[in-house]
């Protein structure tokens, strides 16, 4: 895993925790800065990166991208919309 991929995984986990915490505390999640960070990291990801990872990141399918980076690529359902 590259440094950028590690940073992406950390940022994806941070976003996931923010959304989960906001649901528990019944507040609006603060996601704008987190999504901007994910976009920034995606833009500097190597062109040789996993094509499925790039596909999910470009379509902002954060959960699927996190699964791929977690080594759970086999669990990613192919053929389902990344935007759903």
For residue 61, pLDDT over 90 is answered with yes
For residue 84, pLDDT over 50 is answered with no
Q: How far apart are CA 5 and CA 23, in angstroms?
A: 27
Count of residues for the chain? 84
What is the rounded average pLDDT of the residues 69-75?
87
Nearest to 1 by CA among 17, 36, 10, 57: 10
Q: What is the pLDDT of residues 9-36, one digit of tens each?
A: 999 999 999 999 999 999 999 999 999 9
> Hey, what are 68's tokens?
């791929």
């Amino acid at each position: 895993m590259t440094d950028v991929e590690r940073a992406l995984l950390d940022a994806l986990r941070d976003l996931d925790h923010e959304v989960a915490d906001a649901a528990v505390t019944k507040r609006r999640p603060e996601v704008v800065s987190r999504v901007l960070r994910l976009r920034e990291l995606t833009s500097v990801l190597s062109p040789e990166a996993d094509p499925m990872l790039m596909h999910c990141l470009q379509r902002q399918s954060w959960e699927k991208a996190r699964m791929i980076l977690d080594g759970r690529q086999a669990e990613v359902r192919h053929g389902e919309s990344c935007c759903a």
